[in-house]
Structure 1
Amino acid sequence: MRLSGCVLLVAWLLIGCDPNTVYKEYTDIEDGKWYIKNAPSFTFEIKDATVPYNIYYNLRNNLSYGYFNLYLTRYLRDANGKEIESRLDELILLDPKTGKPNGDGLGDLFDHKFLMKRNYRFPKPGQYTMQIRQYMRQDPLLNIQSVGITVEKAN
């Protein structure tokens, strides 16, 4: 009985792990109040620069979030801190007409995964840092619970 339970747990863990995921990390936003000065950074290692990668925003918001969208500015830097690119992106969290939340919900929390870059090729192997800053005109921006990124090898 114990052995079968362990086998099931190991099988579940293996199925739950995506072999293409190179990096996945979240930063919690304290009290759901995202201040403009709070710009979470995510540092990850790219070992193979010959393959393309998909990069995603990960976001968790409370249903009480006051807008249908979210503007974010992202900054990608190399290991020396040199900015490779920066860009303003708009993420649509709720349907603007119906107010129905996008993403996966549990209670009043909704998780989102938005494609940031498709088939991106890093210039060379090494460490990279992605910094994300909220770019709404409200400071603090309320009811954002966490923000993060996922880096995956593209299929």
Structure 2
Amino acid sequence: MVFSDYTAIDNGQWTMDNALTFNFSELDSVQPHNMFINIRNDNTFQFNNLFLITELEYPDGNTTKDTLEYKMAKPSGEWLGKGFGSIKENKLWYQEKIVFRDTGVYKVNIVHAMRKNGDVDGIHILDGITDVGLEIEKSTQ
């Protein structure tokens, strides 16, 4: 692992307009890396999936934006994350075999994009997400 950082979500209530930002720099510019988004949730999370919008900003100002969907629970309702007690941690793939060729500061912004079926407007306050993290590892392949 070459980078790991978490942001705690106040009272487990992630507001839609609260973009979480992770900054990193000085990674190996030749070897590929794998990036993961780590999500900790508790039993107040009401959904079996999670939609996120991510932005990866490169030091030169270029940005890539993705909308991602992750499964958080089995059809039975059992959480997919690991951990004992009411908090479960999910290590979710974000980018695979990415090479950080540019020197300088990279930024990753993450917001949730959850909405109820049939609703146009998103869920302003998403309950049950206690922490969001970003982890970067050197790729072994």
Relative to the length of structure 1, the TM-score reads 0.81
Cα distance in 1, alignment partners of residues 81 and 26 from structure 2: 28
Choose between structure 1 and 2: higher helix proportion.
Answer: 1
The one-letter code of the counterpart of 1:84 is: T
Mapped contact 1:69–1:93 kept (Cα < 8 A)? yes
71, 75, 84: which one pairs with 2:55?
75
Cα distance in 2, alignment partners of residues 46 and 151 from structure 1: 12
Alignment root-mean-square deviation, CA: 1.2
Count of aligned positions: 133
TM-superposition CA deviations, 1:69-123 (whole Å, max 9, x none): 000000001235x24201000011101x211100112211101101111111224
Query: What's the secondary structure of 1:105's corresponding residue?
Result: coil
* Residue 21 of structure 2 is aligned to residue 38 of structure 1: no
Q: What is residue 124 of structure 2 aligned with on the other side?
A: 139
Q: What is residue 76 of structure 2 aligned with on the other side?
A: 98
* Equivalent runs, 1:2-151 vs 2, <5 Å: 21-80=1-60, 82-95=61-74, 97-136=75-114, 137-151=122-136
Mapped contact 2:58–2:102 kept (Cα < 8 A)? no
Cα distance in 1, alignment partners of residues 15 and 124 from structure 2: 5
Relative to the length of structure 2, the TM-score reads 0.89
The one-letter code of the counterpart of 1:93 is: M
The one-letter code of the counterpart of 1:98 is: S
1:58 to partner: Cα distance: 0.5
Q: Percent identity?
A: 28
Larger Rg: 1
